[in-house]
Structure 1
Amino acid sequence: MNSGAFYTGTYRNLFKEYGYSETVIDARIQETWNTMFFGDEDERIYFEVDDSLGYMLDTGNIDVRTEGMSYGMMMAVQMNNQDVFNRLWNWTMKYMFLTEGENAGYFAWSCSPDGTKNSYGPAPDGEEYFALALFFASHRWGDGEGILNYSEQARNLLHTCIHKGEDGVGHPMWNPENKLIKFIPNCEYSDPSYHLPHFYELFSLWANEEDRSFWKEAAEASREYLTLACHPETGLAPEYAHYDGTPNNERGFGHFYSDSYRVAANVGLDTEWFGGNEWETEQANKIQAFFADKDPVDYRRYTISGEAFEEKSLHPVGLVATNAMASLATVEGPYAKSSVDLFWNTKLRSGERRYYDNCLFLFALLALSGNFKIWLPKQEG
């Protein structure tokens, strides 16, 4: 696994390889960023507060989530916008950071737009995205002081994520024995879409030295876990799954639905960054094949074996985007180009449910154009 961009420094632009103009691609990325962050009130999902704060609004639930805030920070560092990055991080630390109780050191997963906490519990997909976005900010722009000492903040957060509870207070976000990320710290099951082995590879280089072996093991554990959680024929993953990979349907989340869409995107980016493996290519082919004959307007909730429910997909644009991003794992695959073409011909979502779809949309645009990059530490001298 040494053919990825981490080793070569080269990022594939699948849009260009599939015949799209670089000028048009770059314009599409900039237009999407501008719409999501600075567009009209009914288009944007980013909102600024005074001269130093900003937040990402979940327009379907009218709240601010660590998922969206960490996604926005990752988008900002990839787009080289430090002002937006700092505003999001300032808002996160002001309103979401938990300073007491069993979850001290984590972030409240949901707040109202005025900053009032809706919950005093965290969601680990936010913490892992915060950590890598902070490392990338440190490497791209350099560390500042206080909470803008990005790399220090990232290291401290990752330390909390795996050592929380060792003093008897609270719970870690990763199970210390099997190295698998949990759905929430005080449970013992996972969410396949939280598994980001390509992030953990980088944490194994930049986290506190005593924690680096843990992250290396976590990367391999996550890759193995995904082979268990994704259906062997359809490629579909459940939203929640037990540690053995079987669907956890106790709360109705054992099916392929909104969270699950991200698995395809994560497989694509892991391949782009670290070279991938045979299973990731097969996984991308399977999930693209499953959706090849389906019209996005009729996407549904599915069992992981592929049986459709009456319930429609809540985020069809996001599903189109993530399925396209899987093409990074199967560039020459039978459905790779058609999946990317479908995405290219799909518009940003409008309306109240636009937040999640459009976050996945921009990530796919960045990844498929070779602009979802690993930002390495600057070489001294």
Structure 2
Amino acid sequence: MPKKVRIALDAMGGDVGASVVVPGAAIALTRHPDSEFLLFGDSKLIEAELARHPALKAASRVIHTDVAVSMHDKPSQALRRGRKTSSMWLAIDAVKKGDADVAVSAGNTGALMAMGRFCLRMLPGIERPAIAAIWPTARGDSVILDVGATIGGDAQHLKTLALMGGAMASVLFDLERPTVGLLNIGVEEMKGREEIREAAELLRNLDLPQLNFIGFVEGGGIGKGAADVIVTEGFSGNISIKVAEGTARQMTEFLRAAMARTWRSKIGYLFARNAFRALKDKLDPNKSNGGVFLGLNGIVVKSHGDATPDGFAYAIDVGYDMASYDLLNKINQMLHRDGSALAQTAQEAVS
């Protein structure tokens, strides 16, 4: 009998909590029937939602807590007040204890990062976690990191992000030598902040056989799929991905308005509706939901706080894949093979 994938859910996280988390888990269960769920949160609210999804109820266990991390809490406040008792902490702690293979939360990003780091600790050689998102592009999916785990970072941090992102892309996309680019305001070597230029020099000098550093990538290159991995610090990464999501929604609204403007456009839509549906499906931000916290000694997936049940299900899908293919161990092995690139990074940071 195949091993079950155990998924811990913060059922109090996000803008609406259990009313999205539970139906999202029900959707994910239909795609991954070998899943088991631990749902942490207010048992009355969770059980009320589970009553509508008997298959999920049979595959779930509810652990009650009435302590939730607010979307407005500062990370330090959340860690101080919600440690040991909040639904977010308990979901992460289930991974630490071995009761779950992955934790998924739509809650406060800063709090999730702080609790994940405090509870699970970091992988050897990594100082700060990063959220890595899978983003659809014109030439296939790309990995983008960091999209909001930590703000700022020096050249060494950017270099470590490149190594982790490259390892993730190698495993997920089955690439022997994924291309990696640093997000910058121009492709010329003299452009950008000093730490970005220094990081580029470090990556060129590293010259790893499992990573192909191509230099700088401008913002417009993300959608074009200019690299398999786009590296930036959390502030600009978070803005970039949210601008892309907002633009996708804007395009959908523009198309809907244009198709309803005249009777001729309405007739034209009838002939082209399959193409428009395919475009809408491609632009749907929910299908890119689920950022992986790389660098933690455990798998934690961050969903958008305003995700729909479908969107939250996609975040669970990401966590399921990470656990099923043992990506944490594979990424760790890849980062430390051939003389240990991360050990070299850590030594450079000390010297």
TM-score above 0.5? no
TM score, norm. by length of structure 1: 0.28
TM score, norm. by length of structure 2: 0.30
* Structure with larger Rg: 2
Higher strand share: 2
